[in-house]
Amino acid sequence: MFFQKDIETMPRKELESLQLERLKRMVDYCYNNVPFYHKRLSEAGVTGDKIKCLSDIQYIPFTTKADIRDNYPFGLFAVPQKKIVRIHASSGTTGKPTVVGYTRNDINNWSDCVARLCMAVGVTDEDVAQISFGYGLFTGALGLHYGLEKIGCAVIPISSGNTQKQAMILKDFGSTVLVSTPSYAMYMSEVAHEMGITNDDIKLRIGLFGSEGCTNELRDLIEKGFGLFSTDNYGMSELMGPGVSGECEFRDGLHFAEDHFLPEIIDPQTCQPLPAGENGELVITTLTKEGIPMLRYRTKDISRLNYEPCACGRTHARMDKVKGRSDDMLKIRGVNVFPSQIESVLTNIEGISPHYQLVLTRRNYTDYLEVKIELIDATLLENYAGLESLRQSAVSKLRTVLGIDAKVTLVSPRSLERYEGKAKRIVDMRNQEV
């Protein structure tokens, strides 16, 4: 199903000329309204009329998270304060948050983009959506909220946390759509089952998961746990929030809202554009944002673009599921390791739960990786031989996929922390060499 079929299936030629026209306009808009861009674009000698084709985007300087932080809080806003109707922020791991502002048009475009990805998996005005993202400065909850309301779906703004209550509401209100991070959905299904709630007691049929990576293996476990069909959606507050891209029912890549966002892939080391089909860092330019426009924003997310038409009829480019971040890709003894690779290995081993933690330490200038994995069955803790064989099997499967040795520690069921938002699975202590 489509929310804006004419736009979503627009012939590529037409779409690209719309993008070119909007890109030229966006460059001039930034130049004229944001002193930061005025300086950057003047230094690079780029103005809207110098952009003759889409690949000329490569002459525009990049924008980074540091640029937003340096202009904290509102320095990159392109409109006077009175035109801003909403402010969100993303909490960084350190220091000040990155702050973003939306005009009324921005909010309208944002809800259109979200409505598209909800309808692409079949959400209708008959659905009841439980939004279990945290409401607040985070864009996830209000982003999905407005998009779902636009379709006419009934929204339950429960926010995250209080997981037993979440399970009760799922059952009592007959929620048909669950909106959350995949790790929270996994946790919620464990809690619901512990409370004796079975899939016959609930009406969930669709999961709209996003805001963090999720392997297909973990997705399959969540779907089995709740008896639903789910899609992945991607976005970031700097660009808008959720709605930048999302899967359709074919789940063969996440369709961009390419009339609003122009994606590129670059080599994160050389910063040079990479041809379609290659893995690299996703760089995105907003084509319509008024509040805080972004020119060539470096997302740090690693993915790949596919411009082939999709079986669903959408013509907008698709990105692969995010493979990891160029900055939290783990470099262990010189080897690039993505946490998603580890997750795929673990979810394929019988007897262990999908909850894990990666602990990195450094001794004598050498990195060590410990993978803590939770058992499903506590009785195995009394069976040394069984435990050891499970451990060995995990070690050898990890070695085959990662190409390095990891220490595997099996821990009791339910002993690792659970998350109501994005999971924090990596504990990096390498700067505290022992």
Task: Tell me if residue 271 falls in helix, strand or coil.
Answer: coil
Binding region for ligand DLL (CB under 6 A) out of 21-29, 137-145, 170-178, 389-397: 137-145
If binding is defined by CB under 6 A, does position 213 make contact with ligand DLL?
yes
Residue with tokens 């049929």: 205
What end-to-end distance do the CA atoms of the chain give, in Å?
56
CB count within 10 Å of CB 82 equals: 6
Residues 66-105 that bind ligand DLL (CB under 6 A): 90
Minimum CB distance to ligand DLL, residue 53 (Å): 28
Residue 78: HSE in the Cβ half-sphere, 13 Å Cα cutoff: 24
What are the structure tokens assigned to 276, written together?
Answer: 């379609």
Please, which residue, 127 or 232, has the CB nearer to ligand DLL? Answer: 232
Q: How far is the CB of 32 from ligand DLL (least distance, A)?
A: 27
210 forms part of the interface with ligand DLL (CB under 6 A): yes
CB of 87 to ligand DLL, least distance (A): 14
Token pair belonging to 51? 């952009």
Pull the structure tokens for residue 204: 């969930």
Could you give the CA distance from residue 392 to residue 396 in angstroms, rounded to a whole number?
6
Cβ(71)–Cβ(36) below 8 Å: yes
Q: How far is the CB of 241 from ligand DLL (least distance, A)?
A: 5
If binding is defined by CB under 6 A, does position 341 make contact with ligand DLL? no
Q: Verify binding: residue 299, ligand DLL, rule CB under 6 A.
A: yes
Binding mask 300-329 for ligand DLL (x = CB under 6 A): -x--------------------x--x----
Query: Smallest gap, in angstroms, from Cβ of residue 143 to ligand DLL?
Result: 6
Stretch that binds ligand DLL, among 184-192, 204-212, 258-266, 376-384 (CB under 6 A): 204-212
Using the minimum distance from each CB to ligand DLL, give the nearer residue, 140 or 225. Answer: 140
Instruction: Please identify, using beta-carbon distances, which residue of 211 and 347 lies nearer to ligand DLL.
Output: 211
Q: Rule CB under 6 A: choose which of 139, 286, 315, 357 binds ligand DLL.
A: 139
Residue given tokens 């899609």 in the structure block: 231
Chain residue at closest Cβ approach to ligand DLL: 210
Least CB distance from residue 2 to ligand DLL, whole Å?
A: 20
Contact between 160 and ligand DLL by CB under 6 A: the answer reads: no
Residue of 10, 26, 178, 236 interacting with ligand DLL (CB under 6 A):
236
Does residue 25 belong to the site contacting ligand DLL (CB under 6 A)? no
Q: Which helix (H) or strand (E) holds 168?
A: helix 163-172
If binding is defined by CB under 6 A, does position 281 make contact with ligand DLL? no
Q: Does residue 340 bind ligand DLL (CB under 6 A)?
A: no
Give dist(CA 118, CA 341) in Å, integer.
Answer: 28
Query: Could you say whether residue 237 binds ligand DLL (CB under 6 A)?
Result: yes
| Rounded least distance, CB 199 to ligand DLL, Å | 24
Buried b (16+ CB within 10 A) or exposed e, 118-151: bbbbebeeebbbbbbbbeeebbbbbbbbbbbebb
Give the whole-angstrom CA distance, residue 406 versus residue 342.
10
Angle at 286 between CA 280 and CA 287, to 5 degrees: 125
* List 130, 160, 176, 211, residue binding ligand DLL (CB under 6 A): 211
H helices of 195-296, in order, are: 216-226
Tell me how many residues contact ligand DLL (CB under 6 A): 20
Pairwise CA distance, residues 298 & 183, whole Å: 26
Contact 181, 211 (CB under 8 A): yes
Looking only at the bridges linking them, the beta strands covering 352-363 and 426-428 are parallel
Binding site for ligand DLL (CB under 6 A): 90, 138-140, 210-213, 232-237, 241-242, 299, 301, 322, 325
